[in-house]
A = this chain, B = another copy of it.
Amino acid sequence: MKFLNQGSFTLSFSQKKWLAAIAVVFFSIMGSTQAAIAKTSPNLVVTVADVKNMRAAIKEDGQFKRTFIASKASVDEQIKRAIIVPMPQDGGGGYTHERHKKNYKLMYDAGIIYQLTQDEKYANYVRDMLLIYADLYPTLPLHPKRKMGKQSPGKLFWQSLNEAMWLVYTSQAYDLVIPSLSTKEKTKIETGLFRPMANFLSVESPQTFNKVHNHGTWATAAVGMTGYVLGEQEWVEQALYDLDKSGKGGFLRQLDELFSPQGYYNEGPYYQRYALMPFVTFAKVIQANQPERKIFEYRDGILLKAIDTTIQLSYNKLFFPINDAIKSKGIDTIELVNGVAIAYGLTKDAGLLDIAKQQNEIILTGDGLKVAQALDRQLEQPYQFKSVAFGDGNDGKQGALVVMRQNVNGEQAVLFKPTGQGLGHGHFDKLTWQFYDKGAEIVSDYGAARFLNVEAKFGGRYLPENQTWAKQTIAHNTVVVDEKSHFNANVKMGNANHPELLFFDKNEQVTISSAKIDSAYEGVLLKRTMALIKLPLQNKPGQEQSLVIDVFNIESNKAHQYDLPVHYKGHLISTDFTLDTQLTSLSALGKENGYQHLWLKAQAQPKAGLSQITWLNDNGRFYTSSAVMDGDSSLIFTQIGANDPLFNLRNENAFIHRKAKAKNHTFVSVLEPHGEYNPSKEFTISAVSSIENLSHQKVNNIDVVEINFVGNQRYLLAFNSANNIEKEQSNSFSVNGINYKFEGRFKLFSIK
């Protein structure tokens, strides 16, 4: 079975196919044998052994018992009422859609309560509902609200995705009540419901079932889990290895392709936590039924990495809102509650308990019990957030999502995004960044333009402004060339190209990363280096200062307009240059590509040298962006809101550095958190930047950024972002007649 654990050695593609073919045959035989001899129930996510422990736990005080009591009360309330299984009729969000969703959740919960209480009334409720579904299902045509061509249709639901979800839950509900059912009932339910539905989702929907895509994962999980319950090992094989068992599709191929080796899912964390659900659920089921497959060790433990990466991609409990993401989604989503419980069950990692505690939700499974008991005993240890470059793409080499973190009077995080496009939900934001400090967004990403499930806002779907604003490049903190979006906002082009991570490196004081892309705009090379830095505060022993340094270099043979926005969160406090503010009328900044949504509020043309913009965040801290100006560039202050007839957009603020015409240009800036505004205690300290001067020069291949602080403390950050250098490469340069040397990619020099 060792070939399932591919992390430790490498196979060529043809070798993999060959081995997969053997595996199919091998498992087909073995699986069927097992099913015939070892059928116990329940044995999906919750096993017989789990149930034994869970029954004991509800007799003792603790979080698990409290959750059980609450869940039982909720189920009791619901099963009092008549069972309703409506004829499928409505699309997403409509009545019949929601009713069928509620039904699977209720059957699952009732099944759990049945196992815990051994009270037949819960099993009978599930049985009665399943029998109704077993009568209904064979009569159903394709759903009347299906959208052929766009989504694979279902029968109970408008899309087969929902049908697969229904089956993932309902197969478990059935498994939980099997002990209470007569043979006749089982036959009726299996023949009328599970067999036709599994068949519909697999053999009859090959395009989805075989697809190496999140929708495929739901389908394979649903069919595979049903296969385990019904003793149909063949369905399990198909779920794992494609309908034709070639390994071209199926769950294992999805595990190979959909995550990078570091466990990053290329649509970003918002969709990663969503995609996680069928992966961890089905894997848990495989583990229970066929532990010899060592599914959690597959691909060097990719599933545990995926769970951990989802957590790593959060700040102050919320996911980094890259691509289409609802910004209030965070680590307490039910998908990650499940993921954390399963990961804790496997690893007993006390850091996961820290996350579980923040999630504040216990699930009624064997792993949920382990989490609850560990939390009761206060075994949690602080979860460690790290600075990591999460490689993108199945090989981890199609760009990367870079997270830099440190702690200076609160937690700082820089998210730097030289990732791939991330499919249809991806944004045209190559090399963008975000900054977080002291619990808050400071330099922000708009996320998705959507009010989830709010009917009045475009039916709760992605708003038209998601396309016209949120996905466009100007909505992000990266360079826009000639007011056009990256790849001309073409998804196919975006998916076909990706940035290249040049390096990611760190030491005690500096975390630094550099990346480039030459395909976002024809004939234009974009290259950005970002560093998160920790400095000792001059004259304040023991105190430290954070800085983010940003060097954005653009090269082209032709002259272009370059815009670099900073979407800042807070109230503008001051600028060290004169603002030409629009006082009595505003107009839109542009006509398309997102510019049509920006009001032009003010302009400025700072003289050559340093320009500083300070804002105050609600977290009580000041932030100053200091930039190197060439005397020719301008600054534009904007607010979102133009061409927004239905008030769909949030009215957020940005300033844009604009270089109107140049072939090559380098934007250089430093973001500096400082001081405190405390109107409650009536004090304000350090409301003014400590940076007195800033300069950038390229000496040989070396970028040198010099920062002068008030009081004459100076720092030089030198880095080498050439394509390929040797690890121990020796670099030297001279500034103001002084020679400097460093090895590798970078060095921070402190100069008195």
Contacts and interface: CB of A to CB of B under 8 A. Distances in A.
A647 B581 contact: yes
A644 B581 contact: yes
A654 B328 CA distance: 25
B579 A680 contact: no
A681 B332 CA distance: 8
A571 B647 contact: yes
A456 B573 contact: yes
Contacts of A456: 573-574, 614, 687-688
Contact of A586 (B451, B586, B683): B586
A572 interface: yes
Contacts of A687: 453-456
Contacts of A684: 451-455, 460
B588 A584 contact: yes
A587 interface: yes
A254 interface: no
Contacts of A583: 588, 642-645
A599 interface: yes
Nearest to A684: B453
A329 interface: yes
Given A647-B572, A680-B332, A585 B585 contact: yes
A682 B647 CA distance: 22
Interface string A557-577: 000000000000001111000
Interface in A303-349: 326, 328-330, 332-334
A333 B588 contact: no
Interface in A432-475: 451-457, 460
A77 to B, nearest CB: 12
Interface in A693-732: none
Interface in A187-245: none
Contacts of A644: 581, 583
Interface string A582-621: 0111111000000010010110000000000010100000
A679 B455 contact: no
A80 to B, nearest CB: 13
A455 B688 contact: yes
Contact of A683 (B330, B453, B579, B584): B453
Contacts of A147: none
A175 B46 CA distance: 72
Given A328-B679, A334-B681, A571-B650, A584 B642 contact: yes
Contacts of A616: 451, 454
Interface in A633-649: 637, 639, 641-647
Nearest to A650: B571
B677 A451 contact: yes
A585 B596 CA distance: 11
B451 A573 contact: yes
Contacts of A586: 585-587, 599
Contacts of A645: 579, 581, 583
Given A455-B688, A687-B456, A680 B333 contact: yes
Contact of A452 (B329, B572, B679): B679
A651 interface: yes
A97 to B, nearest CB: 13
A375 B602 CA distance: 53
A334 B681 CA distance: 8
Given A328-B679, A328-B680, 9 more contacts: A329-B679, A333-B680, A333-B681, A334-B681, A452-B677, A454-B677, A583-B642, A586-B586, A637-B647
The 4 residue pairs across chains A and B that have the minimum distance between CB atoms: A453-B684, A456-B574, A572-B647, A586-B586
10 contacts: A451-B573, A454-B573, A454-B687, A455-B684, A457-B573, A579-B647, A585-B587, A585-B588, A601-B641, A651-B651
